[in-house]
Amino acid sequence: MPHATALTNIGALVTNDPALGDGSALGVIENATLVMEDGEVAWVGPAERAPAADTAHDAGGRAAVPGFVDSHSHLLYAGDRTEEFNARMSGRPYTAGGIRTTVQATREASDEALAATLDAHLAEMRAQGTTTLETKSGYGLSPRHEARALRVAAASEVDEVTYLGAHVVPPEYASDPDGYTALVAGEMLEACAPHARWVDVFCEEGAFDEDQSRAILTAGKARGLTPRVHANQLSYGPGVRLAVELGAASADHCTHLTDADIDALAQGSTVATLLPGCEFSTRAVYPDARRLLDAGITVALSTDCNPGSSYTSSMPFCIAIAVREMNMTPDEALWSATAGGARALHRTDVGRLSPGARADVALLDAPSHVHLSYRPGVPLVAGVWHRGVRVP
Ligand code: NIG
Ligand code: FE
* Interval 111-128 mean pLDDT: 98
Both ends of the chain: CA-CA distance in Å? 24
Specify the pLDDT at position 392: 86
pLDDT, tens digit, for every residue of 15-32?
Answer: 999 999 988 999 999 999
* Dihedral in degrees, nearest 10, Cα atoms 250, 252, 256, 260: -10
Is residue 302 within 8 A of residue 228, CB to CB? The reply is: no
Specify the pLDDT at position 31: 98
> Which of 77, 205, 230 most suits a substitution to test ligand 1, by most atoms within 8 Å of the C-beta?
230
Residue 1 clears pLDDT 80, i.e. is over it: no
Q: Is 306 in the pocket of ligand 1 (CB under 6 A)?
A: yes
Report the SS3 class of residue 192.
helix
Helix or strand run (H / E) with residue 332: helix 330-335
Q: Is 341 in the pocket of ligand 1 (CB under 6 A)?
A: no
Domains and CATH numbers, the chain: 4-67+351-390 (2.30.40.10), 68-344 (3.20.20.140)
Report the SS3 class of residue 117.
helix
User: Nearest-CA neighbor of 360 among 52, 27, 16?
Assistant: 16
Specify the pLDDT at position 2: 73
User: Worst-scoring range by mean pLDDT, 19-23, 87-91, 327-331?
Assistant: 19-23
Is residue 5 within 8 A of residue 55, CB to CB? The reply is: yes
Q: Is 278 in the pocket of ligand 1 (CB under 6 A)?
A: yes
Specify the pLDDT at position 93: 94
Residue 62's DSSP bridge partners are none
Q: Quote ipTM for the complex.
A: 0.96
Is residue 103 within 8 A of residue 139, CB to CB? The reply is: yes
Residue 169 clears pLDDT 80, i.e. is over it: yes
pLDDT, tens digit, for every residue of 332-343?
Answer: 999 999 999 999
Q: How far apart are CA 353 and CA 299, in angstroms?
A: 19
Specify the pLDDT at position 269: 98
Q: Which ligand is nearest to the CA of 311?
A: 1
Orientation of helix 177-185 relative to helix 210-222, angle to 10°:
20
CA of 72 to the centre of ligand 2 (A): 6
The residues near 110 (Cβ < 8 Å, ≥ 6 apart) are none
Mean pLDDT rounded to a whole number for the chain: 97
Q: Which ligand is nearest to the CA of 309?
A: 1
Dihedral-angle region of residue 143 (phi above 0 means left; psi in -120 to 50 means alpha; beta otherwise)? alpha
Predicted model pTM: 0.98
β-pair type (389-390, 381-386)? antiparallel
Q: Is 231 in the pocket of ligand 1 (CB under 6 A)?
A: no
The residues near 266 (Cβ < 8 Å, ≥ 6 apart) are 295, 296, 297
Q: How far apart are CA 383 and CA 392, in angstroms?
A: 8
Specify the pLDDT at position 97: 87
CA of 375 to the centre of ligand 2 (A): 27
* Interval 275-299 mean pLDDT: 98
Q: Is 122 in the pocket of ligand 1 (CB under 6 A)?
A: no
Q: Is 99 in the pocket of ligand 1 (CB under 6 A)?
A: yes
- Closest Cα to atom 5 of ligand 1: 309
Residue 125 clears pLDDT 80, i.e. is over it: yes
Q: What is the largest CA-CA distance in the chain?
A: 69
pLDDT above 90 coverage of the chain, percent: 98
pLDDT, tens digit, for every residue of 43-74?
Answer: 999 999 999 999 999 999 999 999 999 999 99
Confidence of residue 296 (pLDDT cuts 50, 70, 90): very high
User: Nearest-CA neighbor of 269 among 288, 250, 294, 292?
Assistant: 250
Q: How far apart are CA 12 and CA 21, in angstroms?
A: 10
User: Nearest-CA neighbor of 275 among 229, 221, 211, 219?
Assistant: 229
The residues near 327 (Cβ < 8 Å, ≥ 6 apart) are 288, 289, 290
Tally: H helices and E strands in the chain = 15, 16
Which atom from ligand 1 is nearest to the alpha carbon of 230? 2
Residue 313 clears pLDDT 90, i.e. is over it: yes
Residue 329 clears pLDDT 70, i.e. is over it: yes
CA of 73 to the centre of ligand 1 (A): 9
Q: Is 33 in the pocket of ligand 1 (CB under 6 A)?
A: no
